[in-house]
Every structure is written in structure tokens, then in C-alpha cells.
Structure 1
Amino acid sequence: MYVLHWEYMAGSIVAQALLHEVEAEFEQRHVDMSSGDHKKPAYLDINPTGRVPALTLPNGKTIGETGAIVTYLCETFPKARLSPQSTDADRPEFLFWLNVMTSTGYPTVSRWNHPERYARSDAAIAEVEEKGLADLNIFFDLMEDGISGQKTFLKSGFSALDYYLSMLTEWPADRERLFSTHPKITVVYTSASERPAYKKSMNSHALPKVAA
């Protein structure tokens, strides 16, 4: 059994969706980052980077980083066709855009959403947030231009890129503007978010109700 160490509305969205997609048996263990669980020795023994998500494999080893988790699941479950195969013509395209999403999109969201991690003074934090939002808009423009399929990111059809991009669209504050100005992204998100695996993932990210 796999064990997914996750947090609400974090990068675990895509990992959960893919695990559901391949029908893998897995357990979810919540890491409460607001309480600092990700910095405690118990979690650092599992993932020394202290980041979430992390995926413990059936052999007991753990990998972190969404890009690594996505790549691992794509390669471990080839019949699910989560990514082009090594001999497919669009394999390089898949790897390129996956790395753009993980190395540019994901950290840009973090910089915009948590500017206090990148500066100290109130003025500097405000500047980081403003620049993060501007860079995030540029990133989504890039994604819009990169989409080659009619309903999927790749022309060849559904892949893990559709889930990853959909996850990135979950975080911007003004999603209405994002979708109204990026019709291709809207179509990809609509198609991906209707898949049962993505629905299951997002259902688990609904914050539990606090008793009055």
C-alpha cells in the first residue's frame, strides 16, 4: 500500500488524483502545516525537505516533490497512459511542460500566496506579493499558448499534465478572471475536473466543518 502525506489545498491534489486514476491502494496521512507538523522530527524523518506532499512507496521508501511523484506514478502504471511512453513523439514535450509547471508555476503560486517567506519588512512583502501575482499571470499566459490539444494539454490526449495544470488553477484568488481570459485553460480544466479521480481528490480537500 502507498501512503500519501498530504495537506489541504496543497500539491497533494495532483498526487491524490493520479493515485485514484491508477486505482492504487493508498492511505492518506494528514500533515497539519499550520501546526508545524512538517517541521517536526517525525515528518522530517520521512521527508527531510519538510515539504508536502510526500509519497511512501510499498517498499517503505519515500519520495517528495510533485514532479518526482508524478513521474514515478506515470512510469509505474504505464497502462494508465498518464504520460507518453519513452518512444512516443510527444514524450519530450510532456517532460518539458511538466518541469515548467513544477519549477515555474508551483513556486510562483507559493511566492504570491506566501510572500512573507521571501521578505521581512511589510513593504518588501507587499512587493513580493505584487510581483508574484504579475509573474503568475505571465505563467498562465504561457500555459495558454502551450496547450496543443482541443480538450487536453497535449494533442495526443489526456495526461498527468491536465491534472497538474488544473491543480494550479485551484489557487488563484480571481479564478473567474483566470478562466475568462484563458479559454484553452478553461477547457482543459473543465475536462480534467469532470474525471472521477480528480473529483475524488478535490472532495478530500474540502475543509472539515468546525463545530459551533
Structure 2
Amino acid sequence: MGKYVLIGSRGCGSAIIELAMLQAGAEYELEEIPYLEPGPDRDRLLELNPLGQVPTLIMPSGEILTESAAIILHLADTFPDAELAPSVADKQRPAFLRWLIFIVSEIYPTWNYSDDPARWQLPEANHKRYRKALEDHRLDLWRQVEDVADTPYFLGSDPSALDLYIAVMRNWTPGGDTFRRLFPKLTDIADNIAGQDLFGNVLRRNSGE
């Protein structure tokens, strides 16, 4: 199998895919770009992914794959021993699929909506209240994940890509201190991943440490 090319940006969701690549033992090259800044890098990204978002993955075949959950499921199929997802016959499979889609469809978009309120044509006077409402909603969503989480991995003794999402996203707004105070089980999962030598460098680079 040839090399993947992962187009990503520091501090973004592409870090989740980079961790998954490491866990799978996949050969990949990271192209780290400032994906929101106008210029040749963004122009190329828009040609590959009209949404202009990262992660965007160029597969060994040259095909383009976007959306982190789709990339995770592809890697799980391609590298079945990597423990990125329970097998189809595994009793944990339904829970894995449920919470993978919950994280990417419910929690992840809250940052897309809150990062630039002007994008939604909201009056500037409402930006602060709008962000606060989204942050409160995000915490409510994380509480649902905390309530069902096991340890040391989300699925108990079985690692999966859910742990990688938690390890990366716990550093996003409102940040690690608030996350640690409100979500002790999720923090244990994230600390478990961060303590593994395989993942430490990527997590430190993307958390700004």
C-alpha cells in the first residue's frame, strides 16, 4: 500500500486522524497548512475539498476522503488489527458507532458555529451571548458522553478511535482545566492516550504545549 497524504492544521481535528494513522501503522505524510488563510495552500485545499476543511486525506489511489468519521472507518477497515473500531460482530460495535457519530455530528460542529458568529450574519452585539449559549450546549453534550464513558478507554478495556477524539478535543474551548473539572472519566481517557509514547508528540504539538 502506498502513502497517505493528510492535509491538516495545528490544533484542528486533523490531529485525530494523525493519531489514528499512528495507531494503524499507516504510512503517511502530513501537509500542515493554515487552512483558513487565503493563499495557494487554501486554494489547493478548496480544489480537493470544496468545504475548505481539514482533515482532508489524499489516499494512495489518489482519491480524496473527507470527514473525520469516514476517514476513521476507512482506516479501521483497511487496518483491522489497529483497534480503531470494534469488529462488526463485536457487542461494542453499536455503542462505538453511536458515540462516534454523536461526537462528530453534535459536539464537533459547535466550534464551527461559534468560531465566527459574523458568518451567520448575527449582529455584533449578540456575538458574546451566542457564543455563551453554544458553549453551554457543548458542555451539556459532553456530559452525555461522560455519563456513559468507561475507563481506561471509552469502551472499557477496548481501545478505539473514540479515545483519540476525546484526547484531542478536550484541549479545545473551554479548555483542559474546565474539562478536567467537569468530566473526570473523559479526562482519565484523554490522559491515558496522552501518556502513550506513540501519541505524545502529536498531542503536544496540537495543544500548543
TM-score strictly above 0.5: yes
SS state of the match for residue 27, structure 1? strand
Q: How far apart are residue 186 of structure 1 and its match?
A: 1.4
CA distance in 2, matches of 1:185, 1:38: 38
1:103-122 alignment to 2 at 5 Å?
A: 103-122=105-124
What is the Cα deviation at residue 39 of structure 1? 8.5
User: How many pairs were matched up?
Assistant: 207
Structure 1's 36 and 146: CA in aligned 2 closer, same or farther, altered over 3 A?
A: farther
Does residue 2 (structure 1) correspond to residue 9 (structure 2)? The answer is no
Deviation of 1:143 (Å)? 1.2
Partner deviation per Cα, 1:132-177 (whole Å, 9 max, x = no partner)? 1111110111111121x22110134111000112221110234212
Report the equivalent of 1:195: 196
Measured on the aligned residues, the alpha-carbon RMSD in Å equals: 2.1
Structure 1 gaps of 5+ residues are 208-212
Aligned to 1:29, the other structure's residue is in SS state: strand
The amino acid across from 1:193 in the alignment is A
TM-score by length of 1: 0.89
Instruction: Name the amino acid aligned to 1:186.
Output: T
Q: Following TM superposition, by how much is the alpha carbon of 1:181 offset from its aligned partner in structure 2, in angstroms? A: 2.0
Query: 1:123 and 2:101 equivalent?
Result: no
Secondary structure of the 1:165 match is helix
Q: Distance in 1 between matches of 2:112 and 2:42?
A: 21
Distance 2:31 2:175 in 1: 30
Alignment of 1:71-82 (within 5 A): 71-82=73-84
Q: In the alignment, what sits opposite 2:176?
A: 175
The TM-score, its normalising length taken from structure 2, stands at: 0.90
Q: Is the 8 A contact 1:38 1:51 kept in 2?
A: no
Matched residue, 1:165? 166
Q: Aligned-pair distance for 1:77? A: 0.6
Q: Note closer, same or farther for the CA distance 1:93–1:120 as it changes in structure 2 (3 Å cut).
A: same
What is the CA deviation profile of residues 64-108 of structure 1, one whole-angstrom value per residue up to 9, with x for unaligned ones? 111111111111110112110011111111011000000011011
Pair 1:141–1:206, CA change in 2 (3 A): closer
Contact 2:5-2:31 within 8 A present in 1 as well? yes
Give the % identical residues. 27
Match of 2:59 in 1: 57
Distance 1:103 1:196 in 2: 30
SS state of the match for residue 54, structure 2? coil
**Which residue of structure 2 aligns with residue 21 of structure 1?**
23
Q: In 1, distance between residues paired with 2:122 and 2:29?
A: 38
- Equivalent-residue separation in structure 1 for 2:168 and 2:119 (angstroms): 22
Q: 1:44 to 1:112 in 2, by over 3 A?
A: closer
**Structure 1 partner of 2:147:** 145
CA gap 1:102/1:80 in 2 versus in 1, 3 angstroms: same
How far 1:40 sits from its partner (Å)?
Answer: 4.3
> Stretches of 4+ moved more than 6 A in 1?
none
Larger deviation, residues 73-82 vs 2-11:
73-82
Alpha carbons 2:167, 2:194 under 8 Å: kept: yes
